[in-house]
Structure 1
Amino acid sequence: MSRTLQAWQEMAAQLAIEGRAFIKGEYTASADGRTFPCVNPANGQELARISWCGQPEVDTAVACARQAFESGEWSGLAPLARGRILKRFAALIREHADELSLLETLDAGKPISDTQSVDVAGAAYCVEWFAEAIDKIGGEVAPVDPKLVGLVTREAVGVVAAVVPWNFPILMASWKFGPALAAGNAVIVKPSEKSPLTAIRLGALAREAGIPAGIFQVLPGAGDVGRMLAQHMDIDCIAFTGSTGVGKLIAGYAAESNLKRVWLELGGKSPNIVLADCPDIRKAARTAAAAIFYNMGEMCTAGSRVLVQREVKDAFLAAFREAAQGWQPGNPLDPDTSMGAIVDRIQYDKVLGYIEKGLAEGAQLVTGGKAAHTDTGLFIEPTAFDCPRADLSICREEIFGPVLSIITFDTVDEAVAIANDSEYGLAAAVWTSNLTTAHQVSRRLRAGTVWVNCYDEGGDMNFPFGGFKQSGNGRDKSLHALEKYTELKSTLIKLA
């Protein structure tokens, strides 16, 4: 039975929060005792002090991961055996779903209904999906000279560092450690300092599931920990989700060290194109509101640019204003809340700064535009601008907040040109009643995911997730994700 606001508040009051790193199969404080505060953005209250790891913790965790990987205790298990353990891990995530959902909501300001139905449920599903997939894929027998047997096999890459973001802390982490563990690697998770609580808690659950000590470790801290991992000479692969700017740094650190494999899922400024023959303008407007206001707009795939054809602009704006009213921010612990708090003061000030910049550049407010509940926490109204040009800062730069830019176009070619005129290429959408137009526009859009007459659909694990251009490289989700955490080996055996 779903909990009420009061029930969640009572549970939160009794919650014991772990803030230490998880190294060698146990929780441990940093050697120098450094900590940083974990603050609830909805009310400003400190939740816990979190260990701030440094070079000693990084070196210890990497050495432990290396030893655990080389021992074969995990990598040497039959895929079916690894899968059974990972299924227990997924089951434990589900068993502790209320606790993990609460940690995520308190930590990141996300609505409790979302952390339950999407974040935690999705993380368990991800781990379980890869657990079930790993014993069902194989290598190749290459067609070679009859005097040879040629095998192409995949082997675990080794020690994997996963540096994950603050907007979907447990879900994005699972997209990394799920396939990496399934493939037989040792994994070190570095959660964002803005939302580290669920990753830390997962350490104990992984150990309880039977994952050996050193195979799953968690190192909280600031950006310096991510830098140390990217520069470390004994890490074989680093997977990062976050901003394009930091992704470039990660790639540089890897190049300067040991040329470790680097996989990057980065920013986006995703276009949502509404053509004049859109089958349902009201539905398109409701979907556009959800595409930018869900998770407070703190999504790399957020539909942050709506491109609407001039003939239907007025109807779209009217329907959008109405839809936006359903996304007013409120207490994240209230199951009826659709939009929670901005993750921290830095992001809050950044988003408000972009709203001011939009007004200064001549954009007209369609809705919102102000902070909300300023007496309690970091809340911002759902905001949208009618933009006179496509080159405004709010139209080109990733805001990562509940701020939409609406751009008017006249022809399909113009819409595609505006959509592709971006350094990013993560996601896109097009609304049309014409099947030919849907196919043609989808092919022309430079994006890793394109939706037609919907947005952000396809939450199952079968679709690869990632982007073109400066939205990154590699793919999360699907069997393709396993490729990131394995190396190909060719073995040729000469027959007598």
Structure 2
Amino acid sequence: MGKLEYAPAPESRAVVHLKPSYDLFVGGDWVASQGGTRFTTISPATEEVLAEVAEASAADVDRAVRAARTALRGPWGRMSGADRGKYLFRIARIIQERARELAVLETLDNGKPIKESRDVDVPLAAAHFFYHAGWADKLSYAGLGPDPRPVGVVGQVIPWNFPLLMLAWKVAPALACGNTVVLKPAETTPLTALLFAEICQQAELPPGVVNIVTGAGGTGQALVEHPGVDKVAFTGSTEVGKQIARSLAGTRKRATLELGGKAANIVFDDAPVDQAVEGIVNGIFFNQGHVCCAGSRLLVQENVADEVVRRLKRRLTTLRVGDPLDKNTDVGAINSAAQLERIRELSDLGEAEGATRWSPECELPTRGFWFPPTVFTGVAQAHTIAQQEVFGPVLSVLTFRTPQEAVAKANNTPYGLSAGVWSEKGSRILWVADQLRAGVVWANTFNKFDPTSPFGGYKESGWGREGGRHGLEAYVALAGGQEEQL
């Protein structure tokens, strides 16, 4: 039987109404940048310019922080938890109502397949607001102390791989706990955050509760270092996370950092192979590998390694790479030219260091930023691709003989964000999970997320947790603490 061919199934762009240019969202209104500088955001799939966006200066960041402080001292700060929860419920419902618009805009700006934006990012973003809306009037029952209060003004910096979802992860718990927010989206993917600003207006959220300042690294640095910010929440690279940690050292500011990862996906010889192969594919090729918790290191028990790799390669020949707006697409575009160059450099280094590189035959579009699904075999622990985060659709395959060796290899990394274990023996899964130094361990699955479950890592993968009851801790202070500075 020949390869299945799929007719094109493009999602319509008509549901998205892009403006030629966007200003900053401060104090409930759209305001021009005081510096007047603008930058463009493009579609990674076509390199088409989507819009011009204002670049916030330090003065703009100061204006946003002052607006957030004013809102905190105003009606929002005096509002009951039940009333705050109503706003979060309203935002969640509007996200659901505008789900198709958000999904198409996310795919246009980010490059990820529309089926991922539609089926994962947007529903999960709404779920985080629904979940945290329920906590807003129950914080005293969360085990966070007898009288939890807001920390204050929160500065939040989010990455380009899950723009809307990372916004929800950060904004929802902050608002549920009574804080106000100044958020900076990534410079390559600002559009869904700007649409979220419209959603805040539609939900009639009080002015200044959520402020959105767009820009690059300088804008983020100004926000992190602003003396009026009480807590910093950052998701991004370990390198930038270390810089933030250094800048906050010695200050009164709190911080949660969710940084890089180099997750091990461990497959034992008793694992259901076809199910494991699906988990491997989801673990590393979901969102083009632009996932901090991606299963980028496949550890396979030696006696089944050849069979697992053979079936994996067969499965990869069925992946469809191409137009992210096509509902049949499995692997979309790399987010930026800079990220594509890094993936290429590390992949070339993998070959130079002696690993064997393989990709399925696939015709890549001539415009945009593209990289084929790639598997490296013959990888050693010391190889760069086994140690450094590639953040792309690149899988390194290593082998092990005993569970002890699997754990030793899995933990032999500066990161500790996530891991996966595949086995039919529950006792083995529990033993391995207990030994792994990772914040999240999936059993016979991978990349499953739920707002009720905390997420975060160890070592160079950051500190603090997001989601669940644990994720509320960073956004509350107890009586006599920082909330008295409000």
C-alpha change, 1:215 and 1:371, in structure 2 (3 Å) is farther
Q: Deviation per CA, 1:446-487: give whole Å up to 9, x if none.
A: 000111121123x22111000111111111111211111111
Aligned AA for 1:379?
W
Residue number in structure 1 paired with 2:219: 225
What corresponds to 1:264 in structure 2?
Answer: 257
Q: Is the 8 A contact 1:170 1:199 kept in 2?
A: yes
Counterpart secondary structure, 2:229: coil
Q: 1:241 maps to which residue?
A: 235
Compared CA separation, residues 46 and 164, structure 1 to 2 (3 A): same
Identity percentage over the alignment?
A: 39
**Mapping 1:124-273, distance limit 5 Å:** 124-138=126-140, 152-255=146-249, 258-273=251-266
Contact kept in structure 2, 1:286 and 1:319, CA below 8 Å: no
The number of residue pairs the alignment matches comes to: 474
TM-score (norm 2): 0.94
**Match of 2:44?**
41
Aligned counterparts of 1:208 and 1:133: Cα–Cα separation in 2: 22
* 1:485 alignment partner in structure 2: 475
Q: State the SS of the aligned residue for 1:264.
A: strand
Please state if 1:313 is matched with 2:305: yes
- State how far apart, in whole Å, the 2-side matches of 1:447 and 1:386 are: 24
Report the residue type matching 1:474 in the other structure: G
Q: Which SS does the other structure have where 2:447 is aligned?
A: coil
1:339-380: CA deviation from partner (whole Å, max 9, x where unpaired): 110000000111111111111111012434x99525121111
Cα drift, residue 139 of structure 1: 5.5
- Residues 1:412 and 2:416 aligned together: no
Partner of 2:30: 27
Q: Which residue of 2 aligns with 1:438?
A: 429
Q: C-alpha separation between the residues in 1 aligned to 2:13 and 2:233?
A: 35
Cα 1:282–1:17, aligned 2, differ >3 Å: closer, same or farther? Answer: farther
Alignment correspondent of 1:471: 461
Distance 1:213 1:183 in 2: 17
- The match for 2:366 among 363, 366, 375 is 375
Long gaps (5+) in structure 1: 143-150, 492-496
Query: Residue type matched to 1:443 in 2?
Result: D
Cα deviation for residue 152 of structure 1 reads: 2.8
Distance 1:102 1:9 in 2: 7
Q: Matched residues in 2 for 1:141 and 1:377: separation?
A: 49
Instruction: Look up the match of 1:146.
Output: none
Displaced runs of 4 or more, over 6 A: none
Q: Is contact 1:271–1:303 with CA below 8 Å preserved after alignment?
A: yes
TM-score normalised per structure 1: 0.92
**Aligned twin of 1:66:** 69
Q: Distance in 1 between matches of 2:26 and 2:451?
A: 29
Cα separation, 2, equivalents of 1:68 and 1:351 = 43
Q: Give the 3-state SS of the residue equivalent to 2:189 in structure 1.
A: coil
**Structure holding more strand per residue:** 1
* 1:105 alignment partner in structure 2: 107
The answer for the alignment partner of 2:413 in structure 1 is 422
TM-superposed deviation, 1:18: 5.4
| Structure 1 contact 303–428 (Cα < 8 Å) conserved | yes
AA paired with 2:237?
A: S
Distance 1:326 1:290, change over 3 A: farther
- Once the two structures are superposed, residues 404-452 of structure 1 have per-residue CA deviations (whole angstroms, 9 ceiling, x without a partner) of 0000112211111010011100001111222221111110000001111
Alignment check: 8 A CA contact 1:18 1:200 kept: no
What SS class does the counterpart of residue 188 from structure 1 fall into? strand
Shift in CA distance, 141/270, structure 1 to aligned 2, threshold 3 Å = closer
Q: Given residue 351 of structure 1, which amino acid in structure 2 is its aligned partner? A: I
CA contact (8 A) 2:139 2:148 kept: no
Matched position secondary structure for 1:22 = strand
Residues 7 and 266 of structure 1, relative CA distance in 2, 3 Å threshold: closer
Q: Is the CA contact (8 Å cut-off) linking 1:37 and 1:46 kept in structure 2? A: yes
